[in-house]
A and B are shown apart, each in its own frame.
Chain A
Amino acid sequence: MPPSLQRFNLFGQGPLIALLVLCLVTALLTGRFLSPLNLTNILVQSSIMAVIAIGMTFVIIGGGFDLSVGSSVALAGCIAAMAMVQFGLAAGVLAGIATGIAVGLVNGVIVAKLGINPFISTLGTMVLVRGLVYLITGGAPVGDDRLPTAFLAFGSARLLGIHYLVWVPAVLLVVLSWVMAATPYGRRIYATGGNREAAYLSGVPVDRIIASTYIWCGGLAGLAGVMLAARLQSGQPTAGEYYELTAIAAVILGGASLHGGEGALYKSIIGVFIMVVLGNGLNLLNVDSYWQRVAIGVVIIAAAAADRLRSRH
């Protein structure tokens, strides 16, 4: 068997199968699920979380964890909106992404160089960054009608019939999957997350690799913040709350291991879809939104349990 086939085994595709079954069941229960409008909705709703989940996958495969992405989304959105009002569209977008990268750099240095547990470090930056957001905005939304019209249109504009918001994670997925699979850098992330000590003793600069995963995660959270500001038509200081938990849940649903060294970007995207489709289906079926939360919690635990049972053999 050629290696490419050998490595694609159906057994490892549990999340994909779960997603397909979920779609099938929802489609059977409600005819509205497969309408073009609803499917477009699902894609757009998934897009921002998908960008965050891609960054989170870098960190989790590298053996880490990042709780600060939700706060980074808000800070990046607000700073992007402020910069945009002052200096125009391009400057705003760059400022937003740079903000996320800066937060990621801080996380990376704290975790990799100071050796502080990622849960604690990023819990710290999560609270700290949220505080900064309120400090610079005074708690009020930034931008509104002073934002460039091109930016305001971006949230609903399309290319080839597909929203720009959806193109962003699609392009990122293709490019970064290639980085993970086919470059020395990508393979080193897997090795570092799988066994930091062994990677270190093989000459891998593990500190730099770990720090870089946080920078990716922060930078992509910054990009997601800009996208969210475009959708919300303003920089919202309260934006992105609980995004970190949703993103981590999606990555784990997609089959990555919290111990590091395992996972794939496309699988994390499948995890995002599972969460969004589940919410969407329950919405269409008029299930109370409080129950939706309960259902999503159950699904996360069930997915982890299924994975545990599978890996026991």
Chain B
Amino acid sequence: MNVPAASARGVSKHFGATRALDNVDFDVLPGELHALVGENGAGKSTLVRILAGVHRPDRGEIAVGGEVCHFNGPRDAIAAGIIMIPQELRLVPALSVAENLTLGDAPLRRMFGLRVIDRAGMRKEAQEQLAQLNFAPDPDIRVDRLSFAERQLVAIAKALRRQCRVLLLDEPTAALETREIERLFAVLTRMKSQGTAIIYVSHRLDEVVALADRCTVLRDGRVAATSRRGAFKVADLVEAMTGRAVAQADAPTTTAGAVLLEDVTSRPDAIRLRASEVMGLAGLLGSGASHVLRRIFGIGGETIDVRRDGRLEQIASPAAAVRLGIGFVPDERRLGLVMNLSVRDNILLPSLDRLARGGHLDRAKGDRMVRQLMELLDIRPRQAYVPASTLSGGNQQKVIVAKWLAREVGVLLLDEPTQGVDVAAKAQIHALIRDFAKRGGGVLVRSSDLAELALICDGIFAVHGGRITDRLQRSEGFDEKRLHAAIGG
């Protein structure tokens, strides 16, 4: 029997009164990819963070290569060869790609007897690392000029540079699209063959089935099931995670109504959105699909002319867009929430002016709205006064959606709404989008997951080079080939 590369024995962890992990056993063998799945709040991230030395377990022990370890921080874990790639990337925005990659152990050379950074060597090393991922950005470009998915590739490349015995990946593909995911899988397969142990947290169960040698399902902080490759299917995993079968969102059946929102700047490819319509925006990384959404929400200082419910209006800022009944869910959750404020304050933030009665806020009405929305969206825990930062990713995403439902907007702009969200929450969000449209709202949703767009949209705009290059209707059938061709993939 192999000695596990890393293992947890009887690990428990509480945060305040919340039990995150309860007596969990978990291990990963050298050269094995062990997937970790579960609903939001099931304890996946906590387990991964304990292994990475971020949290200390209340009870139980961690062993690396068979030896019990006591990590006093991520530094100790890294020294033991455990490298984590977190959901929130730790890159320095103002430094270049090459500088970020080599941060902490940049190649040095001697100049006048002093040790200085070997910039050429640094650049070369960075390019080699990134080439392994089939990613070739300019190594001198600042990291904050890259998209989220590109930054993630940089973070992964950075981890691969280290002496890595166990690689922890927390939702690595949440913001990636097919091409990059394939790239990543190829890298992971190669690392496995070199004996690296990989712990892989993901919400995309099809990935898990395709990739994992073993899979452990966590539910409410306990191990609900562990099984070997071949012994698990997507449906089994879902059932183990939720304890029930998950209903799919209704297929779109609505008929579109009057034009809700129309971009009237003189562009032949202008966006037009009708009532009861869900339109998708599909585009490759860097296609500008996200920019199309952000522009309509008045981000970036550009003033655009729109026709909203038949009236000509101008949108010069998000505040103006909100006044016109438009809501926006950004692709990064930290842009959607004020983390140190309560769930309640976040939900009510766009609606504060509506809650004002004689200058002050109508507390009771606010409480009622928050309670109803938390019930409707199944936001857990059902506590309105905890800081938004304490919620799991999927629940945070629901809070961001709740903000705009509270405001009763007519148009929702969604940027990767189900990114990093588990199957159950994903299905809930899809149902929510359809329901919003059924009640006469219009939705414009960008997603890098074409299957998702095909599932929920009435029509899809293909975006390439910042412009809409094609428009597909559900009635004509979504032709994946044509879609791929239209987005240039």
Contacts and interface: CB of A to CB of B under 8 A. Distances in A.
A6 B385 CA distance: 8
B317 A204 contact: no
B341 A201 contact: no
A195 B336 CA distance: 9
Contact of B339 (A178, A194, A203, A257): A194
Interface residues of A, number: 25
Tell me whether chain A's interface is mostly helix, strand or loop, or mixed: helix
Interface in A156-186: 178, 182-184
Given A201-B318, A204-B319, A204-B349, A195 B334 contact: yes
A184 B318 contact: no
Given A183-B356, A201-B336, A202-B403, 5 more contacts: A3-B385, A197-B334, A198-B334, A201-B299, A262-B340
Nearest 6 pairs between A and B by C-beta? A203-B322, A184-B352, A194-B338, A195-B338, A182-B360, A203-B319
A165 B55 CA distance: 51
B345 interface: yes
A57 B384 CA distance: 25
Interface string A196-223: 0111111111000000000000000000
Nearest to A199: B338
Contacts of B359: 183
B328 interface: yes
A190 interface: yes
A108 interface: no
A49 interface: no
Given A7-B385, A203-B321, A187 B352 contact: yes
A198 B330 CA distance: 9
A202 B353 CA distance: 12
Nearest to A257: B340
B159 interface: no
Most A-side CB within 10 Å, residue of B322, B336, B352: B352
A191 interface: yes
B111 interface: no
Contacts of A183: 356, 359-361
Contacts of B385: 3, 6-7
A194 B352 CA distance: 16
A197 B322 CA distance: 15
Contacts of B367: 3
Interface string B333-363: 0111111110001001110110110011101
A203 B323 contact: yes
A201 B360 CA distance: 23
Most B-side CB within 10 Å, residue of A183, A187, A200, A201: A201
Q: Size band of the B side of the interface?
A: 20 to 34
B345 A191 contact: yes
Nearest to B323: A203
B319 A198 contact: no
A130 interface: no
A70 B420 CA distance: 49
A203 B335 CA distance: 12
Contacts of B339: 194-195
Interface string A75-112: 00000000000000000000000000000000000000
Contact of B335 (A187, A201, A204): A201
Given A201-B299, A204-B319, A187 B336 contact: no
B360 A202 contact: no
A191 B317 contact: no
A188 interface: yes
A261 interface: yes
A204 B407 CA distance: 13
A201 to B, nearest CB: 6
Contact of A178 (B317, B337, B360): B360
A197 B352 contact: no
Nearest to A3: B385
Nearest to A207: B317
Most B-side CB within 10 Å, residue of A6, A178, A182, A198: A198
A203 B318 contact: yes
A133 B353 CA distance: 41
Contacts of A194: 338-341
Contacts of A187: 345, 348-349, 352, 361
A26 to B, nearest CB: 34
Nearest to B317: A205
Contact of B345 (A190, A203, A205): A190
Nearest to B366: A187
A261 B340 contact: yes
Contacts of B352: 184, 187-188
A182 B336 CA distance: 23
A202 B363 CA distance: 20
A184 B356 contact: yes
Given A7-B385, A191-B345, A205-B317, A197 B335 contact: yes
B341 A191 contact: yes
Given A202-B318, A203-B321, A191 B361 contact: no
B271 to A, nearest CB: 19
A182 B361 CA distance: 5
A201 B328 contact: yes
B361 to A, nearest CB: 5
B390 to A, nearest CB: 13
A184 B356 CA distance: 7
Contact of B355 (A184, A199, A257, A262): A184
Contacts of B350: 202-204
A208 to B, nearest CB: 9
A195 B330 CA distance: 14
Contact of B349 (A3, A7, A182, A191): A191
A281 to B, nearest CB: 34
A3 B352 CA distance: 19
Most A-side CB within 10 Å, residue of B330, B334, B349, B360: B349
Contact of A200 (B318, B341, B403): B318
Given A190-B341, A190-B345, A261-B341, A184 B336 contact: no
